[in-house]
Structure 1
């Protein structure tokens, strides 16, 4: 059923639901639009409404070909909504779900577009804070780029910041999607532009490998990996691209590239990537057991058979609805002693079938068993050596007589 949003817009059809609200296909004075209607409890929060109005100028002023434009912000009674340009296409998560991984040339072309959009946002002092495939839209009506990639646009600017109010999230909580969170956010530091670069590099890794570098298993374990583990190399890509990925996934924010630099470097690599097929990388198996930080009691616990892939709020017709559990998730920041458990080695290393990856619970258990077997064998050998020594000491090696010393023994009496 259609509903009015303010005095200028009409929402006709639900496109998706998320933890922050519902996305509608709507109509405005200038034609079709996407309307993100925030939840009623958010709309009734006067502090959030005030922040919403304060962000209006910055969000409306963010105009870039690779950013989904915010056309209007509506505050009307219980309605709090962002009115955005409607993109005719799909989101990057849907394409990943269909193809699993992309050819390096197409993946880099998409990420370069998003880096351009982030550069414009960062110049305007806007940090996205939730860069992930669900928030990257592919314009199917735009011209094809390198590797047959459709133009990419970044959406959902400002939503994470709006929801992350002091009243709603305490200093010990963090906002974001676990797989893409920069280490400094996990450690409780304020988000700067570098967190978007880290998240975007994580998305690029996922496009190439088919899985995120630190994801999988309990979300608390994912957070710990961001801080303690190093990323596993990807076979089959040029060294220049790998070094770029490593730099943008650096634990120290100052070591990462700026968005504008990243976009230029990625486009410089495109000729080198032409014709390289999608990588053949086996996804690491799930963790059987791994210690993780405690959770907020409101955190969603997935069913055992629930797939690992995440949903999010699509802003385009035909996209899958959002699962709502990993978008703007609120969870406790791990304590320093929880994060300082020592490096776990290389994160989520691809492995041969049936073999545990380094650092996993299975690997640790196998190591313990191996050490026990080694120690047991050593104990058996030691006991055997002691027994042989005792036998020799009692004359077992010289017949029935006493041991003889060729140099120091006295001659026998006649």
Structure 2
């Protein structure tokens, strides 16, 4: 492109290319600064969904302000041209760093994880989920500054519902595989995988078809490799918990990682020569993905009907005519009845005294007996008078409440669920991502091109 974009930005070289667009290195002719410009392909700009996602990314970035987030500068819409101008990060993304140099040292990985978690904390506080946390979207600045999180192309607001969830299969959280929407805890799951790969040079779930990869996320956990210290592994394992409620918040991770950093080595280990060993996820009482921390509604796969035990419990709690009232209200109802019965006995005793002593009753004061004098022995008991008391059949004292746990886990989602394919072909033996940034989502460096955003 020889002509400056919008008469201001002169393109110099291509940084990355993807199916939807291209990222260029360019010079701002007004300020003289170097910038990165993401330009949608003309055919993508004509697609309402693609164009809408591009505009959403620009809007999300404009709401965030943190040194670890690439700052947007300009949005250009001119005919069939849609372009987003951003700060240029001179450096290399973590995925390429692992391929070209090898794993990070444990201390370096802990520092990187702490910086990444801090960035995600800011994003989550703004009510936004990144949705694609992976090494290819983490920039390591050449000047040694804090890491930068890039590519908000699939970011979404937490309150957004009814939209398809996109992501990279190698880094997608188990609840998303089960059909739920992306949440902040899904980003935390991505942090755990980033730390694992930074230390080993491999993603533990990569290899085979998309269906194989997704199934591993739900059924398996990696076994701790020898090169990962136990202090750091305990944090990684927390992040990789199957249920979102078992993972820490992103806000808690920086302090956790910095606390163990002094115990970690500055010497990097070797990349794993074989695929990581996986073990079955532990079976717990919470076998379903119905954690209280999960905001989205669970989508039950068609192959399994939703359990009705929860509906049964709710019906009992909501039914005010339940045959099992609590004991406290019953005591309160019996108190006034008891007082009334005592008063009635006192009145009857007084009338009997006057009749037996021969005093005549004064007209209009006490009525003549109707021929059947009510004896105190025939006075109704409290139980007979209390119309609100429960039936004689009492509930069992040790009755077990119906279980609210589903009888089985939801089945795996079929197909790719709208996720970007970043898992390689079926012959992939499980190495670290062999495809370079730019082949799945635009905004990352391509092989043979200068690094940058």
TM-score range, shorter chain: 0.5 to 0.7
- The residue aligned with 1:156 is 151
- CA drift at 1:295: 6.2
Q: How does 1:398-413 map to 2 (within 5 A)?
A: none
C-alpha contact (below 8 Å) 1:104/1:273 kept by paired residues: yes
Question: Measured at CA, do residues 299 and 316 of structure 1 come closer, stay the same or move farther in structure 2, by a change above 3 Å?
Answer: closer
Q: How does 1:108-257 map to 2 (within 5 A)?
A: 108-142=110-144, 151-157=146-152, 159-161=153-155, 174-257=165-248
Give me the whole-angstrom Cα distance separating, in 2, the residues matched to 1:115 and 1:50. Answer: 28
Q: How does 1:342-353 map to 2 (within 5 A)?
A: none
- CA drift at 1:69: 1.6
- The residue aligned with 1:74 is 76
Contiguous gaps of at least 5 residues in structure 1: 144-150, 323-414
- The residue aligned with 1:325 is none
Give me the whole-angstrom Cα distance separating, in 2, the residues matched to 1:232 and 1:103. Answer: 19
Give me the whole-angstrom Cα distance separating, in 2, the residues matched to 1:57 and 1:160. Answer: 12
- CA drift at 1:120: 1.3
Question: Measured at CA, do residues 42 and 116 of structure 1 come closer, stay the same or move farther in structure 2, by a change above 3 Å?
Answer: same
The SS at the match of 1:36 is strand
- The residue aligned with 2:13 is 13
Give me the whole-angstrom Cα distance separating, in 2, the residues matched to 1:280 and 1:12. Answer: 36
Contiguous gaps of at least 5 residues in structure 2: 279-411
C-alpha contact (below 8 Å) 1:311/1:320 kept by paired residues: no
Give me the whole-angstrom Cα distance separating, in 1, the residues matched to 2:239 and 2:108. Answer: 19
Tell me, yes or no, if structure 1 residue 310 matches structure 2 residue 435.
yes
TM-score (norm 1): 0.65
C-alpha contact (below 8 Å) 1:91/1:319 kept by paired residues: no
Give me the whole-angstrom Cα distance separating, in 2, the residues matched to 1:239 and 1:285. Answer: 16
With CA pairs under 8 Å and 6+ residues apart, which has the higher RCO, 1 or 2?
A: 2
C-alpha contact (below 8 Å) 2:170/2:203 kept by paired residues: yes
Aligned residues: 304
- The residue aligned with 1:347 is none
TM-score (norm 2): 0.59
Give me the whole-angstrom Cα distance separating, in 2, the residues matched to 1:258 and 1:279. Answer: 30
CA RMSD of aligned residues (A): 3.4
